Amino acid sequence: MAVISVFDIGGSKIASSTVFMAASGRLPSDGVSSIPTPVEDYAALLRTIVGNVPSEAEAAGVSIAGLVNPKAGVVRAANIPCLAGRPFREDLERETGKPVFLINDANAFGLAEASLGAGADHSSVFAVILGTGVGGAVVVDGHLLQGAGMLAGEWGHGPASAMRTGRPLPRWRCGCGQTGCIDVYGGARGLERLHLEFTGRRSCSFEILRDWEAGDAGALETLDIYLDIVGGALAGIVNLIDPSILVAGGGLAGNDKLLRALEQEMRARILTPDQAPSLVAASLPGNSALLGAALFASGELSKR
């Protein structure tokens, strides 16, 4: 049984646990703790991680929101500025004396759901993050597809369009530096900005969805455009990689009606609508990124 110390680092908090990787695939844990993320102090961030790695751990798996290069051991995370240009994995390995494996949080989520959650009975899984922004991961036969540039699954950073509704989209700049990425329209903040743009009303994403379900005219207009953008983008994903299921996580994925509407939009726009994969909500508990980090670290450790 491998003992893996796992972390999920976000812009406000770090979740940590110790996961025991049994040969049966069961993943008992000693519970999850949460501590604030020192986003501006790199030395404090290292101390926080190192101080929570128990001596019996064979390795550490670290899930983090941002652009992760597991081979180089570096991270670009806009909400954790102290990581910029730092050899994060190298420093953690030096301080802990243990191998450390970094993974993007969307990849960790996708690996967990494909191995233990809603995608466990499927050979090809596309994980869809519908949170503050959008993200994703590709898992084939239980293996995470990362790609030459570690960018596989980053569907949020292609150009957005609304071809069915024919609505010209505002030219919003994305955090990646490009203009008009799917990410700036497809997440919760994007939905809110679209609603303000097209109705003049400032509402949070949950209020917009509530009004949409109640038949409010403004919310119906906003969601029609949103579904055009996001459902169309998902159709492109399905045509490109042909997954057998799409598993959605993040705050917006908690709305079942939205998922059904996105699936319908996607199904109508793929090449084989009669063979369309289902779009389903994630089935694992909220700390799936920790499980994904454990699975990733355990798999990489076994290769050594």
Yes or no: domain 120-281 corresponds to CATH 3.40.50.2000: no
Instruction: Say if CB 279 and CB 249 are below 8 A apart.
Output: no
Q: How far apart are CA 189 and CA 156, in angstroms?
A: 13
CA–CA distance, 58 with 140 (Å, rounded to integer)? 27
| CA 169 to centroid of chain Cα atoms | 25
Which tokens is 267 given? 């199904």
Do the domains 2-108+286-302 and 120-281 sit in the same CATH topology, yes or no? yes
Q: Where along the chain do its domains lie?
A: 2-108+286-302, 120-281
Q: What is the pTM of this model?
A: 0.92
3-state SS, residue 61? strand
Name which of 144, 142, 146, 137 is nearest 122 in CA terms: 142
Chain centroid offset of residue 145 CA: 14
Note down pLDDT in tens along the chain; length 304 residues.
789 999 999 888 999 998 887 655 555 566 888 999 999 999 999 999 999 999 999 999 999 988 888 777 788 877 899 998 899 999 999 999 999 999 999 999 999 999 999 999 999 999 999 998 999 999 999 999 988 877 899 999 999 999 999 999 999 999 888 999 999 999 999 999 999 999 999 999 999 999 999 999 999 999 999 999 999 999 999 999 999 999 999 999 999 999 999 999 999 999 999 999 999 999 997 788 999 999 999 999 888 8
Tell me the CATH number of domain 2-108+286-302, given options 3.30.230.10, 3.40.50.1980, 3.40.50.280, 3.30.420.40: 3.30.420.40
* Angle, vertex CA 248, rays to CA 245 and CA 250, nearest 5: 170
Buried b (16+ CB within 10 A) or exposed e, 43-66: eebbebbbebbeeebebbbbbbbb
